[in-house]
């Protein structure tokens, strides 16, 4: 039971680290999301997004090994996943790559729900 939260945080952290390759440029981003990113401003924003995902992913992996950070990590990861899923749902049509991101985020959400339940259970037991 005590490994559920750290394992979930590592897995969700890795999921958030994957888009970090987008910082390498347009080709990586277009491959990740299946969309044209020819506008230089959009390219800047998307590369910055990749950096932010990398930072969040690194935090989640580090937090997995620091129990005092579990609550904050679960809240931040849940906010990231739920906000993307909500936005994706509200906008409708997506490329196959973006649908894949949504599917992976659904898996991440399931991991986070399991981790949150385990986390609350462990806190009640103490």
pLDDT in tens, 6-51: 999 999 999 999 999 999 999 999 999 999 999 999 999 999 999 9
> Residue 47 and residue 70: Cα distance in Å, rounded?
28
Domain span including residue 21: 4-125
Per-residue pLDDT tens digits for 43-78: 999 999 999 999 999 999 999 999 999 999 999 999
**Structure-token pair, residue 89:** 């749902």
pLDDT band at 125 (very low <50, low <70, confident <90, very high): confident
pLDDT band at 93 (very low <50, low <70, confident <90, very high): confident
Could you give the number of structural domains in the chain? Answer: 1
Residue 124 has pLDDT above 90, yes or no: no
CA distances from 52 to 17, 47, 72, 100, 114 (A): 9, 9, 16, 20, 25
């Amino acid at each position: 039971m005590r490994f559920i939260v750290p394992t979930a945080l590592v897995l969700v952290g890795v999921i958030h680290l994957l888009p970090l390759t987008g910082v390498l440029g347009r080709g990586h981003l277009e491959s990740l999301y299946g969309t044209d990113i020819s506008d230089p401003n959009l390219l800047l924003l998307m590369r910055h997004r990749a950096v932010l995902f990398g930072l969040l992913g690194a935090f989640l992996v580090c937090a997995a090994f620091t129990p005092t950070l579990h609550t904050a990590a679960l809240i931040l990861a849940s906010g990231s996943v739920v906000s993307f899923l909500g936005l994706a749902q509200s906008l409708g049509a997506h490329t196959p790559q973006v649908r894949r991101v949504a599917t992976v985020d659904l898996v991440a959400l399931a991991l986070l729900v399991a981790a949150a339940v385990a986390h609350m259970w462990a806190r009640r037991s103490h």
